[in-house]
Amino acid sequence: MIQPGLLQPSMWPSFNNMNSSFDEDEDCLFDIDANMFSDGFIDFPAHQLDRLDGVLLEDDFSLDLKEFETTLSEIGDMAESFEHEKLPINEKEQQTSLILPTDDTKIDNSLSLVHLIRAYEEAMEKEQRELAEVITKRVGEKVSPVAEIMDRLLYYLFQPSDKHLDYLKQESSKNFYAAFKAFYQIFPYGTFAHLAANLAILEAMPRDVEIIHIVDFDIGEGIQWSSMIEAIECERKEIKLTSIKWTEDDSSYDSSGSWRFDETKRRLLDHARAFGLNLAVEEVELHNLESEIEKMKRRGGSGEWFSFNCMVGLPHMGRVRSRRHVIEFLKVAKGILVHPPNCHISSTKGIITFGDGDAWEILKESPSFGSFFNGYLVHYQALLESMEFTFQNHLGEARTAMECLFVAPFVSSLGWIQKWKEREALCYFELSCELEKWKVGKESLMEAKEMVREGVSPYRVMVEDENNNELVLEWRGIKLVKVSFWKKS
């Protein structure tokens, strides 16, 4: 039996075990004695740390603490310089910018923003686009990427093409890979989803199968599968990993931070080789997936057990995938499991895992644009709050850079409007028909709770749906990530 602890992400920082030399430097970015991550953020149980070899690939992704300190310093200096290198503004604006706001000014500005947002929602519901555009510009005049949480959120939301924001994104992208490593291992959003999905796959997998065929909607950097490789190695099984091929037009993200499939494939193959595991990695366009599986079965591959994995909207991914593509992938996955491509071929057994960090259910449950828009504001405000909770005040500039890279791509008024327009076509696809909802296991629930230190941190992990097939990560009562499971026996 595979030990669930093997899937715990070992590259997550264990702040109790950091190099003691950091404690001696009061100016160091990692001040352990000062409770760097507010009341003890995320940590691993000591008994598990000793047996974890790494969810990130050691040659390319391992993060040295000194490197991490240097990286955050560079990102912080860059974000700080952003305030001093803004584009030219007139003399009056320069004088105004030197006036520091009082507490009363901040309160007045916050109330003004609340009224403006309500007016924007009402204008959009009445399809008064010109009025909405005027309100958008007014909001843009009041917000900043280095202010309070709601200001930052509205800045990202209403100024996606702002030159100042573009500058900050470009500078942040120069440190993209180091920032990615830091973001993934500090915050639980992606690691929670990957842990939940991988544990479900291993729990649902029949013990007698020899080949596990994973079909991944968005493989990205491949970080989800390195721990799976280590766990499967214990079972002496073979893994086939098929990545769905997308073009840059199929997503919204900065190409400077994109992941090349060939690089991801090399890292995964090297990692599997180090564990003596037989791994095959390929890339297939979605419209060819059914035919490729049919060919495989005709060649005698009917004994494979399938795992269709779809992760979308997780902040570390830094890219927005079309919901239409998500639906297409899930439809194809369901079709392959329930209705094989060829009537002469027996049905395929396997599981579907779906991780959502973009609050899809808000879109499905909202009766009006206003309720949808407000729901998304609440969701991403909670995301920013959880990030701010983790960073100490003197790391605020580094946090701003990470927000630009990993939050801003998901926060766009134009993107949200497009989602609302497409809601009817996207909201009524159901996987539960003809598929069995896979119940979240107690071990998976406890592993996830232990990962986020529930009861110590403001995070909470819970099981939802009447069939208990959804594992949810919450931040102070607000859902951040939901992972759902369906199986064909």
Predicted confidence (pLDDT) per residue in 226-238, tens digit = 989 988 877 778 8
**Could you tell me the pLDDT band of residue 486, with boundaries at 50, 70 and 90?**
very high
Where does a domain end: 141, 164, 187? 164
Of 183-192, 253-262, 380-389, minimum mean pLDDT range: 253-262
**Predicted TM-score (pTM) above 0.85:** no
Residue 23 confidence (pLDDT)? 31
Identify the CA nearest to 419 among candidates 478, 353, 366. 366
Of 10-19, 302-311, 388-397, minimum mean pLDDT range: 10-19
Q: What phi and psi values does residue 197 have, to the nearest 5 degrees?
A: -65, -45
Residue 58 CB contacts under 8 Å (≥ 6 apart), including other chains: none
Domain co-membership, 304 together with 435: yes
- What's the DSSP call for residue 300? T
Q: Is the pLDDT of residue 71 over 90?
A: no
Q: What element of type H or E holds 232?
A: helix 225-233
Q: Is residue 18 part of a domain?
A: no
Domain co-membership, 233 together with 159: no
Q: Is residue 59 part of a domain?
A: no
Q: Is residue 55 part of a domain?
A: no
Residue pLDDT, tens place only, 259-290: 689 999 999 999 999 988 999 999 999 989 98
- Calculate mean pLDDT across residues 450-477: 93
Identify the CA nearest to 201 among candidates 438, 471, 465. 438
Residue 8 confidence (pLDDT)? 55
Residue pLDDT, tens place only, 237-247: 889 999 999 87
- How many CA atoms does the CB half-sphere of 178 hold within 13 Å? 18
Residue 18 confidence (pLDDT)? 27
Contact 369, 326 (CB under 8 A): no
Q: Give me the percent of the chain exceeding a pLDDT of 90.
A: 43
Domain co-membership, 410 together with 276: yes
Whole domain around residue 436: which residue ranges?
179-488
Domain co-membership, 282 together with 191: yes
The mean predicted confidence, pLDDT, of the chain is: 77
Identify the CA nearest to 261 among candidates 279, 245, 238. 245
Residue 237 confidence (pLDDT)? 84
Identify each DSSP E strand in 264-337 by its residue range: 279-284, 305-312, 320-321
Residue pLDDT, tens place only, 156-191: 998 755 566 677 777 778 888 888 988 999 999 999
Identify the CA nearest to 180 among candidates 92, 256, 237. 256
**Cα–Cα distance, 238 to 373 (Å, whole number):** 45
Residue pLDDT, tens place only, 292-309: 887 777 766 567 899 999
Q: Is residue 174 part of a domain?
A: no
Domain co-membership, 388 together with 434: yes
Domain count, the chain: 2
Q: Is residue 81 part of a domain?
A: no
Domain CATH for 184:
3.40.50
Domain co-membership, 328 together with 457: yes
Contact 272, 312 (CB under 8 A): no
**Cα–Cα distance, 60 to 63 (Å, whole number):** 9
Domain co-membership, 366 together with 324: yes
Q: What phi and psi values does residue 283 have, to the nearest 5 degrees?
A: -125, 130
Residue 10 confidence (pLDDT)? 41
Q: Is residue 237 part of a domain?
A: yes
Domain co-membership, 278 together with 400: yes
Where does a domain end: 138, 164, 190? 164
**Could you tell me the pLDDT band of residue 82, with boundaries at 50, 70 and 90?**
very low
Q: Give the pairing type, strands 320-321 and 251-252.
A: antiparallel
Q: Is residue 389 part of a domain?
A: yes
Domain co-membership, 336 together with 429: yes
What b/e string do you get for 423-456 counting C-beta neighbours within 10 Å, with b at 16 or more?
beebeeeebeeebebbbbbeebbebbebbbbbee
Q: Is residue 443 part of a domain?
A: yes
Domain co-membership, 140 together with 240: no
Structure tokens of 231? 């766990």
Residue 93 confidence (pLDDT)? 37
Residue pLDDT, tens place only, 102-146: 555 555 677 889 999 999 999 999 999 999 999 999 998 888 888
Residue 176 confidence (pLDDT)? 86
Domain co-membership, 153 together with 197: no
Domain co-membership, 226 together with 251: yes
Q: Is the pLDDT of residue 22 over 50?
A: no
